A and B are shown apart, each in its own frame.
Chain A
Amino acid sequence: MSAGSARDLLEIARGVAAMAGPGEQVEAYVLRSSETDVKVFDGAVESLAVAEVDGVGVRLLLDQRQGYAWAGSLDPDVVAETVAEARDNAGFGSRDESLGLPDRADVDAVIAPELDLWREALLAVSAGEKVALALEVEAATRAADARVRGVESASYGDGAVEVAVASSLGIEATTRRTMCSVASFAMAGEGDETQTGYGFSVGRTFADLDVAAAARDAAERSTRLLGARQPASRRLPVILDPLVTRSLLGLLGAALSGEAVLKGRSMFVGRDGEEVAATNVTLVDDPTLVEAYGAATHDGEGVPTRRVDLILDGRLQGFLHNVYTARRSGARTTGSAVRGFKSTPAVGARALHLRPGPKSPDAILAAVPEALYVQSVSGLHSGTDPVSGDFSVGAEGLMVRDGELAEPVREITIASTLQRMLLDVVEVGNDLTWLPGGSAGVTLLLSDMTMSGV
């Protein structure tokens, strides 16, 4: 990993912006990332991969038409070719009055937060130390419980990402962040039965990682499913593990993007200002929170990020926007452009979370006579439809009886609609947990879902 300062990237981005011809708007998004990925198996290193990726994405507008080109190289000749290709592509786009790069008014509307998301200390960690940590989590997972018969995969990964954006309208921004994680996937059981469980720990730097917690979670989540059976189909209350809630919020975030709404691809179309959830539901995207792993000072168009209230006490407040979706909707960008260098700016949440409620997960559990505790779900993208709201996913977990976790269950699906689920929220836990990705986890109790089994 090289010591980072995005200054050199900004110089490249400025160079691209300066290539704008008469009447053209040009924006460059320049990225450099370095990553390490360690996988271990059975006490030995399976693979150690080191990666450095550079890339540039060029957006060019002329006469209200847009073209895009990208390249996985910052070589000056390649960058120049990429600008030429974007220029050529612009001729084939449709005229659209809402197209355009952010202007000063977009950028000056809020002051960018000051966030320290870069840890030089992570760059100084040797490959040997990273390997040792991955081996440690594997060994700790095996040692955590005699019923763990193997670890399907144990890994360490880290990344340092630097980005610079510059445009011919004078907009400039640089961001950089580091992140690392350690993960273990445990297999428990003997003979015919196997159950699996996932555990991990994330941080901005190496010292943040909690190997013991990752190993303990993986072991506990796999062993507590031993003996799981397929239960009979019925309707019942459901408690979602924070990891499951995180995935659910991801789906909601996609449906709350101004892009999905403009394109008619969201169940929230036309529901602005309406009651869409139970009154204890307040949903916020706030990338200015330093503890969120998706925190950022600026979005993918160089616009400062800010707190955006999406649902307040059950009422829909509005949507996330980038510059284009905002202009088409007659709104202002919310600094929610998300992208890599291979694509034009889309719209997405970075730090989506529910306002925590008063009760601990244990207190929520204790108050429920019978429910399903969902530990993990599968098929989230194939089984949910953000347009119709239909929701049906595979699940595994434990039954809750008289306020306590009881027998494990597997090979079930849970189904409802996203609209219904928001209205069915009975409790939001007090255990807000920041996780990688654009949304945070929290324990959630929903009053009614259909569980399909035998």
Chain B
Amino acid sequence: MIEESVLSRTLHRALARGGDFAEVFAEDRRSSSATFDDGKVEELRSGRERGAGVRVVRGETTGYAHTADLSESGLGEAAEAAAAAASSGAPGATIVPLTRRAARAPHDVKVLPEGVEKARKVDLLTRADEAARAEGDAVRQVTASYADGRRRILVANSDGLLTEDDQVRTRFMVSCVAVGDTGMQTGMEAPGYTVGFEYFDEHAPEDIAQIAAARALSKLNARPAPSGKVPVVLKRGAGGVLFHEACGHGLEADLVGRDASVFRGRVGERVASPLVTLVDDGGLAREWGAYAIDDEGAPAQRNVLIKDGVLTDYMWDLVRGRKQGRASTGNGRRETYQHLPMVRMTNTFLETGEDDPEDIIRQTPYGLYCVALGGGQVNTATGDFVFGITEAYMIEDGQITEPVRAAQLIGNGPETLLGVDAVGRDFDTWAGTCGKDGQGVPVSSGQPTLRIRELTVGGTAA
């Protein structure tokens, strides 16, 4: 993307006014997407974005500037603007000569989406539409969308690091509206993976459409969700986002450093049920949050955050790591070259346990069985989190009975972690976009079927 000599000279300009560290992050992104709605392909869309950001760190202060002009003069101007923003006047750090470091991709992309004929992408949409409508006359609206993206990044810094990555992601989404006597209900399914067009070798548009349609149809008969505290069983995959919210964010070193996490100062302590082992792994092949290197050039790695209920470590990026004299854990991410990196999750999951998932339901006299979730939110300083259930059923006398309408679950992170009392031996993941400080990045979360002793369900039934 940029010549080595230009990168070196840009780093020198960045540190010319002082500073401890400088970095050039360059990115070249291409994307294509298409939406099918109401029987028509709305349009095929393509996008392209290319640029670089220069970061200068001095003491506690970071200066940042970016440019869409990757020429030496464009980069130089960004370097000077970042230097001015972090300006001090004192002499800067020495720049270590750049050494190229190869990064190992978690997954070899077999079919680059940009090489696939556009007509083939559009054809997938029609197939999904037909499959969803075939699920029943009550399915009135079907929206299907296809999206692929390729993101090539380059990181060079004053520590001598020079590394690159090529990230390819593909996602297919189907959303349905079903109409019945009790009104309208929606159902959605949107699996996403860090893979190329070979995605469709394993995920047929028809299957995704059927799941979405079935979800909308099942809710037509739903009764209001209960109100108050109930035991909650989370089906495999559905509840990973609960752990993402309940404790994942609170284990991000930037929030811990600001004293804005209930998990601050608790490494080595028991913070969860002994059944809980929580891992964040950016190198998990194919998963939506996977990559070879993070957006600061650190290789993705497997980080055990909670081991058998004991807090083992936080997630770190380069700047917070440097302050503590330790390495990044490969969790420094940014949405685009226009953003500063910060500590972010990748693929966050709870490890499997030993219980039979069906036994977990059988051994629950009364509770809520959550099959699909719609995302959540946490206040890391208080630990209080919410997440929305989009498909759930009552459990009565150990049996799954009636569907319930959408509702919010609310809980407190530390209390919820201690309340995990059964963990299954199955496993699945869920793809989503995680938002923090206005930046969205692709993440996945996962878990086996498990039970939480009690959570507050925000329904309207007494």
Once A46-B60, A344-B43, A378-B379 are accepted as A-B contacts, the answer to whether A233 and B228 lie under 8 Å apart by CB is yes
Contacting A67 at CB < 8 Å: which of B38, B44, B225? B44
| Cβ-defined contact, B460 with A70, below 8 A | no
Q: Which residues of B contact A153 (CB under 8 A)?
A: 258, 260
Are B43 and A72 neighbours in the complex by a CB distance under 8 Å? no
A73 within 8 A of B: yes
Q: Main secondary structure on chain B at its contact with chain A?
A: strand
- On whether the beta carbons of A53 and B61 are closer than 8 Å, the reply is no
Residue B388 at the chain A interface, CB threshold 8 Å: yes
* Chain A, residue nearest B456 (CB): A452
User: Which 7 residue pairs are nearest across A and B when measured between Cβ atoms?
Assistant: A413-B458, A382-B388, A394-B386, A379-B386, A72-B49, A383-B408, A94-B40
CA separation between A68 and B46, bound complex, in Å?
Answer: 7
B325 part of interface (Cβ distance < 8 Å)? no
Distance of A249 Cα from B47 Cα, bound (Å): 32
Which listed residue (B68, B227, B408, B459) contacts A393, Cβ 8 A?
B408
The CA-CA distance from A75 to B85 in the complex, in Å, is: 27
Contact assessment for A388 and B228 in the assembled complex, using a CB-CB cutoff below 8 Å: no
5 more A-B residue pairs beyond the given contacts A68-B43, A93-B44, A415-B458, with a C-beta to C-beta distance below 8 A: A73-B50, A264-B141, A382-B390, A393-B386, A452-B228
Contact with A along B367-404 (1 / 0, CB 8 A): 00000011111010110111110100000000000000
Q: Which residue of B lies closest to A157 (CB)?
A: B438
Shortest Cβ gap from B373 to chain A (Å) = 7
Does A85 belong to the interface (CB within 8 Å)?
A: yes
> Which positions in B face A, CB cutoff 8 Å?
34, 37-51, 59-68, 81, 84-86, 118-119, 122, 140-141, 143, 177, 179, 183-186, 219, 225, 227-229, 255, 258-260, 262, 338, 340, 373-377, 379, 381-382, 384-388, 390, 405-408, 410-412, 456-460
Knowing A49-B65, A382-B386, A415-B459, the reply to whether A392 touches B406 (Cβ < 8 A) is yes
How far is B65's CA from A152's CA once the two chains are assembled, in angstroms?
Answer: 24
A152 lies within 8 A of B258 (CB)? yes
Question: Which residues of B sit under 8 angstroms from A381, Cβ to Cβ?
Answer: 374-375, 388
User: What is the CB-to-nearest-CB distance from A123 to chain B, in angstroms, rounded to a whole number?
Assistant: 16
Q: List 18 A-B contacts (CB under 8 A).
A: A45-B61, A68-B46, A69-B48, A72-B47, A89-B44, A92-B41, A93-B43, A187-B381, A194-B262, A195-B382, A388-B185, A390-B405, A392-B406, A394-B386, A410-B384, A411-B456, A454-B229, A454-B456
A231 to chain B, nearest CB (A): 11
Bound CA–CA A167/B32 (angstroms) = 23
Cβ–Cβ contact A393 & B43, under 8 A: no
Contact at B183–A48, with CB atoms within 8 Å? Answer: no
Query: Beyond A46-B62, A92-B118, A388-B185, is A413–B386 a contact (Cβ under 8 Å)?
Result: yes
Q: Is A127 an interface residue (CB 8 A)?
A: yes
Q: Give Cα A85–Cα B31 distance, bound, in whole angstroms.
A: 12
Q: Which of A70-118 contact B (CB under 8 A)?
A: 70-73, 75, 78, 81-82, 85-86, 88-90, 92-94, 96
Most buried by A among B84, B119, B388: B388
Are B85 and A127 in touch, CB under 8 angstroms?
A: yes
Q: Tell me whether B460 and A196 are in contact (CB under 8 A).
A: no
Closest to A266 in B: B184
Nearest chain-A residue to B67 (Cβ)?
A52
Contact of B381 among A67, A94, A196 (CB under 8 A): A196
Question: Shortest Cβ distance from A247 into chain B, in angstroms?
Answer: 12
Other-chain residue from A89, A195, A414 in contact with B118 (beta carbon distance below 8 A)? A89
The residue on A at minimum CB distance from B373 is A382
In whole Å, how far is B331's beta carbon from the nearest beta carbon of chain A? 18
B386 touches A90 (CB 8 A): no
